[in-house]
Amino acid sequence: MVKSGGKIESNGRGFWGGNSQDCAPGYWSEKGQSECHVCDNQPDKYGSSPNCSGGGGGDHSCWNPAKGGGGGGGNKTAGKDGTGGQSGKGGLAKGDGALATLQFGGGGGRTRNTNAGYGGGLVVLGAESIIVEPGGTISANGGVGGSDSYAHYAGAGGGAGGTVALFAEQLINNGTVEAKGGTGGTGPQGNGGDGGEGWVVQKDPISGVVNESYPKGLELWVDNQEVTPLVGDPNGKGAPSWDAEAGKWGADGLTEWSTGPLDLTSVANWTLGEHTVELRETGGAGGELKLYLYVIYPFTKSSAPANDTCDAPTFLNLAGPVTVSGTTEDIMGKIKATDASQAQFCGGSGGPDAVYAFALDEWRQLAVNVNAPFLPRTYIKKADCITGEVAGCGTDSWQSKVLEPGTYYFFIDGDGNLQKGDFSFTLTPSPPGPPANDTCAGPMPLIFQNGTAQVNEMSLFATDTYSAVCGGAGAPDLVYTFNVAPNTSKLTITVEGDFNPAIYVTKDSCNANPIACVPQGSYQMSWPTPGTYFLFVDGKTAPDKGLFKLTLTTE
């Protein structure tokens, strides 16, 4: 079957068209090639007469101004003569509908400055039924002769169509089956002749030669390793299903067959994860292959991992980078871990989770990278696994803020019971540097939930980049961004920490002049204009820096 958009082509794969560019000894250029001979080293390589099915050459003289087109190649029908002063003759017709000989299309004749079209090749198909869907193509067309717009030259001849031989009991053609001749090229002094039509013939199948309807020599591969000899013929199917001498299924390609059920339990190392099972055909003419796989898992009782809850977190040594693998489901797709934890503003509601613990002896930042088939929600809590302050959160890749010395808990979680599976993660500690929201190049987005956005931050390792009339000179500062929705009647900003803060706000652009600036820890705006805002948390004087909690509320 040739599907819509599918193509079986042998266009321009027959005898070559004339292509010599040397000045000919006489007035004509090279003839097209044919079954009589190819033109190289032949005494009559040049001339206007045909070379059997090859078209004659048009004028190729370096001196004669009366040029003419090359002749078209021939096959089922003769090629057309070229036109013009000194033109080539068309190639002769050949072959017959009995297909005693399968014929290539004859090549077209060349002219002074252009190559000729090649003849079409052969397409031979055998099957009980051949179906060509709409948009499908089987073709052996001849090539188009070259054209030349130069005032003193002519076009070359087109190649003849080749042969499409279909050995089938039934042909259902809703697409295109053809062996057309190529058109001759054009030129001011004359045109090349069109190539003749090729043969398109349907014949009865020839059993065992071109009508192997089924595969033979089939092999079974698992994970790129052949396992056919390991499987054998456990069901005693015998030929043609099983060729005992060759040790393969499908004996002759002429009879439909089936292996029956096969037990593949012991032919490969069936570890957890993906495996590839393939049928590879090594002989025959095709046919429909079907493979049905049934995977039977032994029943196992699901049990939660040891670090399912805060009662027994897995301890990690973060003296350097640590990579850990785990899972929140079993082989049957059941949820093993429970939904024991979540973090406000970080996610984790409804999804199974696992918990890990680590201790820091010095100030550190953590790079978090998770590899999982689900969207993870990851977060860090400080001091207490259940009620501890959230020290940072993200999804599969994020950088924590600076963490002070102490005990922390790291959670792999998900939103919803389908966010589960195997995972691995890497935690990489590093000495503190400026936080990501140290400047306007990377302001931290503040996300509102039920009218409140809240983060716990520190400015100890930030730089002094900005200041305003209300303070900030010499003190480190951090930048945040948030959106105000329409119809917001009140916006309240509160900074709670162990230093004297300065708060200033810009709108639309981080680098714009502040629209508000207060040398204190709280600010309230009535009926704020909807849009994007940028918030700077700075120190009132140079010594003012440290830990703080930032809270925004809207009404």
Token pair of 241 as six digits: 């299903």
pLDDT value for 228: 85
Query: Considering the domain 444-554 in this protein, what is its CATH number?
Result: 2.60.120.380
DSSP label of 364? B
Spell out a b/e string for 400-412, using b for 16 or more CB atoms within 10 Å of the CB, else e. Answer: bbbbeeeebbbbb
pLDDT value for 285: 56
Q: In 3D, which of 150, 75, 153, 151 has the Cα closest to residue 112?
A: 153
Mean pLDDT of the residues in the chain? 89
- The answer, yes or no, to whether the previous bond of 486 is cis (omega within 30 of 0) is no
CA distance 68 to 187: 9
pLDDT value for 379: 97
- Taking only the tens of pLDDT, the chain with its 555 residues reads 898 899 999 999 999 998 876 555 556 788 999 999 876 667 778 888 999 999 999 876 655 665 789 999 999 999 999 998 889 999 999 999 888 899 999 999 998 778 999 999 999 998 878 999 999 999 999 999 999 888 888 899 999 999 999 988 889 999 999 999 999 999 998 999 999 999 999 998 876 555 566 777 788 899 999 888 888 777 676 666 777 777 777 767 667 777 778 888 888 888 777 889 988 877 665 567 788 887 776 666 677 888 999 999 999 999 999 999 999 886 666 667 889 999 988 989 889 999 999 999 999 999 999 999 999 999 999 999 999 999 999 999 999 988 999 999 999 999 988 899 899 999 999 999 888 899 999 999 999 999 999 998 989 999 999 999 999 999 999 999 999 999 999 999 999 999 999 999 999 999 999 999 999 999 999 999 999 999 999 999 999 999 999 999 999
96-155 per-position pLDDT tens digit: 988 889 999 999 999 877 899 999 999 999 887 899 999 999 999 999 999 988 888 889
pLDDT value for 240: 64
CA distance 103 to 528: 85
Q: Could you tell me whether strands 516-518 and 478-484 are parallel, antiparallel, or unpaired per DSSP bridges?
A: unpaired
502-552 per-position pLDDT tens digit: 999 999 999 999 999 999 999 999 999 999 999 999 999 999 999 999 999
pLDDT value for 23: 52
pLDDT value for 329: 82
| Intervals of CATH 2.60.120.380 along the chain | 314-430, 444-554
Phi, psi of 79 (to 5 degrees): -75, 160
pLDDT value for 274: 81
CB 547 within 8 A of CB 456: yes
CB 306 within 8 A of CB 355: no
CA distance 412 to 420: 10
pLDDT value for 371: 95
Q: In sequence order, what E strands does 120-255 have?
A: 122-132, 137-139, 163-173, 176-178, 199-203, 215-222, 225-226, 242-243, 248-249
CA distances for 105 relative to 112, 120, 193, 490, angstroms: 23, 5, 14, 85
Q: Can you give the C-alpha Rg of the chain in angstroms?
A: 40
pTM of the model: 0.43
User: Which CATH fold would you assign to the domain 314-430?
Assistant: Jelly Rolls (2.60.120)
pLDDT value for 374: 92
CB 402 within 8 A of CB 319: no
CA distance 14 to 535: 76
pLDDT value for 282: 76
pLDDT value for 74: 98
379-394 per-position pLDDT tens digit: 999 999 999 999 999 9
